[in-house]
Amino acid sequence: MLKSDASKGSEALDKEEVLKQARILWQKYFALTKELLKFSDQKDSELFMELVDQRERLIEKMKALPENDYRETDECKRLIEQIIPMDKQIIYRARSWLNKSRRQNSAVRSYDLVESAGLRGTVFNRKY
């Protein structure tokens, strides 16, 4: 009987440790999301992508944790409520940046085609 009580105690400790790890990972995820939002409108796309990669690694660690109920806690729900609008802003800014980048690349490609065809002076002097 004493042995089973001791094993129950270690199981509870393990669950507590898992919850503690889940809490830490979610807090890191929240902090990285805030950093992503901060850098989402900056010119440093390398730093932004590094933060995205770090957040992806955190997600993998969260998935690797044993099943736990941390996500059902009020604490986690509050974090998620704060993360969702930040994620929406990050996605909006990233799409905006991507669209702008595509337009710029398209314009550069068009100019390169005109240059490579040897039409540079004739195309821009033409009246349509």
- Parse the chain into domains and list their residue ranges: 2-125
Instruction: Report residue 36 as tokens.
Output: 């992503």
Question: What's the confidence (pLDDT) of residue 96?
Answer: 84
* Residue 40: predicted pLDDT: 81
83-88: long-range pairs with CB below 8 Å, 24+: 83/29, 83/30, 83/33, 86/33, 86/34, 86/36, 86/37, 87/33
- Residue 17's pLDDT is 94
pLDDT at 103: 73
Nearest to 86 by CA among 37, 121, 126, 123: 37
Q: How far apart are CA 81 and CA 119, in angstroms?
A: 56
Taking only the tens of pLDDT, the chain with its 128 residues reads 444 444 454 555 589 999 999 999 999 999 999 999 988 876 777 888 899 999 999 999 999 999 999 999 999 999 999 999 999 999 998 888 878 777 776 666 666 665 555 555 544 444 54
Q: How many CA atoms lie within 13 A of 127 on its CB side?
A: 0
pLDDT of the residue at 101:
72
15's tokens: 């669950």
Stated length of the chain? 128
Residue at 87: amino acid letter: D
Q: Give the integer Cα–Cα distance in Å for 128 and 125.
A: 10
